[in-house]
Structure 1
Amino acid sequence: MLEQVIDQYWKTVVDTIQEGVMIVNKNGRIVFVNGSFEKITGYSRQEAQGKSCHLLQCDTCEKARCLTGENWCDLFKVGCIDMKRCTLTHKNKGRVQVLKNASLLKDALGNVVGAVETLTDISDIVEKDHQIEAFRRQLQQENGFHNLLGTSRAMHQVFELIRNAARSDAPVLIQGESGTGKELVAQCIHDIGPRLEQPFVKVNCAALNESILESELFGHVKGAFTGAVKDRKGRFEAAKDGDLFLDEIGDLPFYCQVKLLRVLEENIIERVGDNTPTPVNTRIITATNRSLKEDVRTGKFREDLFYRINVIPIQIPPLRERAEDIPVLVDSFLLRNRLKTQSAIQGVSNRAMQSLMAYPWPGNVRELKSAFEYAFVTCHGTVIRREHLPLQVFLSGTSSPTTDNQLPHKDETQKQQLLRALDQSGGNQSMAARMLGVSRVTVWNRMKKYDIDLNRKERVGEAK
């Protein structure tokens, strides 16, 4: 009966979709598969139909044979499977990562007659995730600190402050222009500190309406105001023994500043509409792109609160003050966008890199990231050139064109280009990297690849 229903209503339609489809009877025997199932598993219809679904050796299947001996799979007990990630055994290629959905099939009387499963191949996505994770670990080891990138002296000072802040329970104030990565710094402090297993709660003080900000931070009791139909915990209680990140602290209303000061001094909060103190053990991390000292001077920010949150100050330098970090960030955004878009883009031209180095980046790292997203849309070749960059970045490099002797010759090998750049830069690897339009790490890797030792008197003409 089930086979007849399939032949009459399902086969043609189901055979056209990209997801693999498998239908089994109550005994777990496969009675139908579509074409996509054949591609995902490597088993043809003839090989799969009539066999037990155990053929696929799914690592999440649960055996749950009932007393009558009919039902083989736990699906017949739970009724459905929703977006479950698992691995199957491909006939020829080993394990395959898939996303599984499944549901029971019933006849008109409600009797279970079988089950249907859909399989979505996510192997490419998983592999991409692995590549990104490996790249992230490599960047952290060579060019940065956790999720923060930079090899400049200024960033190494920031990294050291982060280490010190993470070991302390004192309030931290992170200051820097928009786009410098203040939230990443706050997250890093939490991730390497003793409160890692506790919550990390974020609040953007500028994004919340003043009328609900106090309730968001401290919670409220039923009837405290119109719409307060039940008691509600605030962000402080949600953070528990973890870290509470207050972004854009300079936009905190004056009346909330008073309550925040009390939390810092007494480690207690009071919900809106209640006068019962609740103890909290939350460490506060704040951030702002404003000058709080100036706000204190003009009366917009409480002086006593400023000194309470500014126990461990961390100042993140703008990108224009650490231009030597641009090649490292370029490498990161280049690979991330290439993996994300499956683009054929392999690098950045010398003149494009010159424009990137010359531009002052008022939007800092966030703007650089956006510039690369733009370039990946406009570039249809394998190399990002100046004309592929946003107009303001493109124009920044026009006043200092690259001279012919700085550009690598087309007939030179990669080793010869590297030797020429090292020779012209006097052995300075960072300068050589900028001349070649790559990162300092790439220069170092190529030196290792071609066994180039700066202490040896190796010249361009010696490269084979």
Structure 2
Amino acid sequence: MDVDIASHWGTVADTLHDVVLVVDPQGRIVRINRAGEELTGYRNDQLAGQSCRVLNCTGCKIIGQGSGVDYCGLFRAGEVRSKRCTITNRAGEPVVVLKRASVLKDEQGNITGAVETLTDLTELHAKEREITQLRRSLRSEDGFEGLVGSSPAMTSLYRLIDTVAQSDYPVLIQGASGTGKELAALAIHRRGPRADKPYVKVNCAALNPNLLESELFGHVKGSFTGADRDRVGRFEAAEGGDILLDEIGEIPPATQIKLLRVLQEKEIERVGENRPRRVNVRILAATNRDLPELVRRGAFREDLYYRLDVVPVQMPTLAERREDLPLLVEHFMAQAAAKSGKEITGMSPEAFGLLEAYPWPGNVRELRHAVEYACVLCPGGLITAEYLPPKLRQAEPAAPPAAGPAGKRHTQRQELLEALRRAGGNKSKAAEMLGVCRATVWNRINRLGIDCERDL
């Protein structure tokens, strides 16, 4: 038995979860289904005959004055494909929807109206906002693009990175091993105008001279044994973006000459090819070597050094920012605990005292490894001295730093106690007052030897 679908349109439309809205050629609402009534707050009889503009849809394209064909871009374009927009319901509240629309024509091709479907994205939009806020929170916990610290040395570094990121000049990042040079380079890329372009890293010390040249500039087929096809180099792969040349002090003299040409002429030549290729790449160079000393010894070209040293960035050692030690320890403990799934509640005062006394010649990298080691051995709860690497337990105490960690420790303890008292012992409220997460408050309570029942 055949069913006349047209005569049952209202019933069919009312079974749909999405809003179905029909308008005439003048843009007046003819019909809205039950889902539309629930979403907009209007009954069908309240909307019928009104201009569709009553819903104040941000996805409508206005092309002129009047109504319908002379007013709405839909009648000119013929359709709207999956466009996210916002309508206003009867209560005046914005509602995020996914809009699809198409014009209706008769057999002669004349426009008889249009039909729109609106999918409610309210819950999805709310979840997206939660995710965005969580990401911002995580980035905040991770510090400045992964660099952690609030000492004067680090705040100065953050300002410098933000400034140099906006320039197009080469950047030379210098610092001892383990100070975070790669993180600084990535921060410069992410905060600059090339952030949406490629970011390519090359460790210049990890390749022999022949491989390094091919890796940087590419090669053509047959240029050397094993070159069975053309190969794009890292400079071409980084087109429009940034390239990090890590361990720049290790590149051989022949490669230095070619690199100088890139800086001067913005051109490269693939190995085995004599045709120059234009490249648009900003060079970020990093090294723990004393480049001026290498220049004096003739191991590094002076002209290349001055080309690279246009915008120098010096990474502070951990000894120069010892006041950041508590933040770094908390950060690495949280990361290690998240990876292992263990309930690490903090570090005992005795264990933290050993961290404070150690000189950290390997800087932040060595500290991270020490905290990870302790988190691996610790079954859960408080990290005590027995779980720290043996070298920390056996090391001679470091010379007292100028920063005065004991005084800072006392100040931090007093600040936390005050926040806990004002919050009535509520750790979450205290964390909000201090601008940190709840886990950080627990870590500090344990590390600073605070007994909430006794001290509050």
TM-score when normalising by structure 1 = 0.59
Instruction: Provide the rounded CA distance (Å) in 2 between the counterparts of 1:255 and 1:322.
Output: 39
CA contact (8 A) 2:333 2:372 kept: no
Return the alpha-carbon distance in structure 2 between the equivalents of residues 218 and 357 of structure 1.
46
Counting matched residue pairs gives 298
Structure 2: runs of 5+ lacking an equivalent: 1-130, 400-405, 434-451
How many angstroms apart in 1 are the aligned matches of 2:313 and 2:146? 16
Instruction: Specify whether residues 331 and 133 from structure 1 end up closer, same or farther in structure 2 by C-alpha distance, changes over 3 A only.
Output: farther
2:110 maps to 1:136: no
2:284 maps to amino acid:
I
Q: How far apart in 1 are the matches of 2:344 and 2:305?
A: 47
- Within a 5 Å distance, the mapping from 1:314-353 to structure 2 comes to 314-353=313-352
1:194 to 1:298, Cα distance in 2 relative to 1, 3 A:
same
1:449 aligns with 2:419: no
Aligned to 2:191: 192
Residue deviations 1:92-121 (CA, integer Å, cap 9, x gap): xxxxxxxxxxxxxxxxxxxxxxxxxxxxxx
Partner amino acid for 1:301? F
Letter in 2 for 1:181: G
The equivalent of 1:298 in structure 2 is: 297
**Superposed, which structure 2 residues align to 1:32-111 within 5 Å?**
none
| Corresponding residue number in structure 2 for 1:153 | 152
SS of residue matched to 1:149: coil
User: What residue identity is the alignment partner of 2:320?
Assistant: E
Q: Contact 1:176–1:316 (CA<8 Å) still a contact in 2?
A: yes
Q: 1:373: how far off?
A: 1.4
| Matched residue SS, 2:195 | coil
Amino acid at match of 1:314: V
Q: Give 1:432 shift.
A: 3.6
- d(CA) in 2 for partners of 1:399, 1:232: 51
Please name the residue that 1:168 is paired with.
167
Query: Larger radius of gyration, structure 1 or 2?
Result: 2
User: Is 2:241 the counterpart of 1:239?
Assistant: no
**Do the aligned partners of residues 397 and 134 (structure 1) sit closer, same or farther apart at CA in structure 2, a change above 3 Å counting?**
farther
Output the CA distance in 1 between the equivalents of 2:294 and 2:236: 29
Change (3 A) 1:319 1:463: closer
Task: Report the Cα distance in structure 2 between the residues aligned to 1:444 and 1:233, rounded to whole angstroms.
Answer: 60
CA spacing shift, 1:150–1:271, aligned 2, 3 Å = same
| Aligned: 1:277 with 2:276 | yes
1-side partners of 2:241 and 2:421: how far apart?
45
- The 1:448–1:241 alpha-carbon spacing in structure 2 relative to 1, beyond 3 Å, is farther
Q: CA deviation at 1:377?
A: 2.2
The alpha-carbon deviation at position 336 of structure 1 amounts to 1.1
Shift of 1:292: 0.4
SS of the residue corresponding to residue 343 of structure 1 reads coil
Q: In 2 relative to 1, CA 131–350 (structure 1 residues): closer, same or farther, beyond 3 Å? A: farther
Residue 361 and residue 445 in structure 1: after superposition, are their counterparts in 2 closer, same or farther (change >3 A)? farther
| Distance 1:444-1:283 versus aligned 2 partners, 3 A rule | farther
The change in CA–CA distance for 1:448 and 1:391 in structure 2 (over 3 A counts) is farther
Aligned: 1:356 with 2:330: no
Q: Give the TM-score normalised by the residue count of structure 2.
A: 0.60
For 1:447 and 1:295, the matched residues in 2 are separated by 57
Q: Tell me, which stretches of 5 or more residues in structure 1 are unaligned?
A: 1-128, 401-424, 454-459
Q: Alignment identity in percent?
A: 51
Distance 1:229 1:316, change over 3 A: same
Helix, strand or coil at the partner of 2:344:
coil
C-alpha deviations, 1:256-302, integer Å up to 9, x for none? Answer: 00000010011011111111111111000000011001100111100
Structure 1 segment 214-293 matched on structure 2, within 5 A:
214-293=213-292
Shift of residue 376 of structure 1?
1.3
Deviation at 1:444, TM superposition (A): 7.8
CA distance in 1, matches of 2:139, 2:186: 17
Query: Contact between 2:358 and 2:398, CA under 8 Å: does it hold in 1?
Result: no
How far apart in 2 are the matches of 1:387 and 1:147?
Answer: 29
Secondary structure, counterpart of 2:162 in structure 1: helix
